[in-house]
């Protein structure tokens, strides 16, 4: 796998208003968060785990490659299922080469958790974007297990991790809600004796906790005396291989969902979307903005709630989005901003500090891109304030994506509603999470093309 998207030619893409409303039924790729964790827990379990619906984007494939390098057998079967033959808790081995995780922050942070309590040294790196992202908020708590980290300035990749030979369990209070930091600590705690606890000020995505239970770990979730929640894992369990069915990724579904809302007259159904309560913040926001979204065929798959989303074009209105909603929709703010720019009135999104440390500084990327497209937008501290056009914003700008897949997709969606086409400077990063984004959107009637 290439370690840097700059190795291949830049691929600009232009988005313009389609001649007809979007229409059709689609299914989005498997949930990226669940796909990463399914591979990792399968590698740490005893026996063979069969995964159906795994997202085969570059980020998840980077996780699979890293686990192979650490000694787990991870293969794709001819029928599309993925087979993981695990080595058990503490059974991974020292890799012969550097672990290159491409653009995947989830892979890097969760894998550092696993490596922190394995008694060997590994070197972890990534592409240009990932190497700019801070890792100290993960390495700091992981050091408390006894692991040692040698990193670039600011705790950035590439870094060397020497896992603790005699790890000790810890109790760690998250400064801000973060599913990735929480998961890294819990994964480290699996190979430490006793109980490891994470205290989170607000509930964040709970895929790790759900999957721990699915594989047979003892996981205890209780209210924290000072507010928030305590999540505890009992160390040194024997995880048992378990089948996983990966639902459609709600973060990927967000793009055709918002596209259908902002292109008048659209009627789109998105099948098999995961509706984990810790991931439904976007749906709540859009409902407050007046969106017409129906949840059909509700069911459960692999321990996760699932439904089909039926979406119709809607005249949206502005809303005030509270900061406590951020953990349940942190990846969806770029495309929510596109919706807000088309809505009538002001939308204020509060408490977006986490956006500054994603694949890019997404808060700046959103604001700069919308402003270039003629949208009235303000960043006030960690808040994003957008005065919507009440219809079609001007558009007509070139957007710098900064190797960020969600910025790229959000502005392509935005261009479907603007008066003038919107161009992104590089579409390559989209492959990290949603390789079929462009053809899938084309099936609904979206107009994306290589600019002249």
Judge whether 383 counts as a catalytic residue. Answer: no
Q: Which of 100, 127, 331, 426 is catalytic?
A: 331
Instruction: DSSP for 164-207, please give it.
Output: -SS----EEE-SS--HHHHHHHHHHHHTSSSEEEEEESS----H
Tokens read off for 11: 């691929």
Can you tell me the distance from the alpha carbon of 105 to that of 41, in angstroms, rounded to the nearest whole number?
Answer: 18
- The tokens of 360 are what? 């890019």
Alpha helices in 29-96 (DSSP H): 32-44, 58-69
Strand 229-234 with 195-200, pairing: antiparallel
CA distance 70 to 120: 11
Angle formed by the axes of helices 105-115 and 58-69, to 10°? 20
Calpha distance 366→379 (Å, rounded): 10
Q: For residue 311, what are its two tokens?
A: 């979406």
3-state DSSP call for residue 13? strand
In terms of C-beta density within 10 A (0-12 exposed, 13-18 middle, 19 or more buried), how is residue 153 classed?
exposed
Question: Do residues 383 and 352 touch, judged by C-beta distance below 8 A?
Answer: yes
State the helix-helix crossing angle for 32-44 and 179-190, rounded to 10 degrees.
10
Report the C-alpha gap between 24 and 441 in whole angstroms: 10
Tell me which residues are annotated as active site. 331
């Amino acid at each position: 796998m290439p370690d840097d998207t700059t190795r291949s030619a830049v691929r600009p893409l232009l988005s313009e208003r389609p001649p007809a409303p979007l229409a059709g039924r689609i299914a989005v790729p498997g949930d990226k968060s669940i796909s990463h964790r399914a591979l990792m827990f399968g590698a740490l379990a005893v026996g063979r785990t069969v995964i159906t619906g795994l997202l085969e984007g570059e980020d998840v494939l980077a996780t699979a490659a890293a686990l192979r390098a650490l000694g787990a057998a991870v293969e794709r079967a001819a029928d599309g299922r993925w087979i993981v033959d695990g080595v058990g808790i503490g059974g991974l081995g020292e890799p012969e080469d550097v672990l290159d995780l491409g653009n995947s922050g989830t892979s890097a942070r969760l894998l550092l958790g696993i490596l922190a309590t394995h008694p060997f040294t590994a070197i972890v790196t990534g592409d240009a974007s990932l190497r700019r992202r801070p890792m100290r908020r993960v390495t700091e708590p992981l050091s408390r297990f006894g692991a040692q980290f040698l990193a670039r300035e600011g705790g950035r990749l590439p870094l060397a991790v020497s896992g603790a030979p005699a790890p000790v369990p810890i109790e760690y209070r998250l400064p801000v809600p973060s599913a990735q930091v929480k998961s890294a600590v819990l994964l480290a705690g699996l190979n430490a004796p006793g109980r490891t606890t994470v205290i989170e000020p607000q509930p964040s995505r709970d895929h790790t906790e759900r999957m721990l239970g699915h594989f047979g770990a003892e996981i205890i979730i209780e209210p924290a005396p000072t507010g928030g929640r305590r999540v505890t894992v009992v160390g040194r369990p024997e995880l048992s291989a378990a089948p996983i069915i990966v639902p459609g990724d709600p973060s990927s579904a967000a793009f055709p969902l918002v596209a259908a809302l902002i292109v008048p007259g659209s009627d789109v159904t998105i099948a098999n979307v995961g509706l984990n309560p810790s991931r439904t913040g976007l749906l709540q926001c859009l409902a407050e903005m007046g969106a017409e979204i129906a949840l059909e065929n509700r069911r459960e798959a692999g321990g996760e709630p699932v439904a089909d989303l039926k979406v119709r074009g809607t005249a949206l209105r502005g809303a005030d989005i509270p900061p406590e909603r951020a953990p349940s929709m942190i990846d969806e703010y770029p495309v929510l901003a596109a919706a807000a720019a088309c809505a009538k009135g002001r939308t204020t999104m509060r408490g977006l500090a986490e956006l500054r440390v994603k694949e890019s500084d997404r808060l700046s990327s959103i604001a700069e891109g919308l402003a270039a497209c003629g949208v009235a937008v303000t960043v006030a501290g960690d808040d994003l304030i957008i005065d919507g056009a009440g219809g079609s914003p001007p558009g007509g700008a070139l957007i710098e994506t900064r190797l960020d897949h969600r910025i790229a997709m959000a502005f392509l969606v935005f261009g479907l509603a603007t008066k003038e086409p919107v161009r992104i400077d590089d579409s390559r990063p989209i492959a990290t999470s949603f390789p079929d984004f462009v053809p899938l959107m084309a099936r609904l009637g979206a107009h994306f093309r290589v600019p002249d």
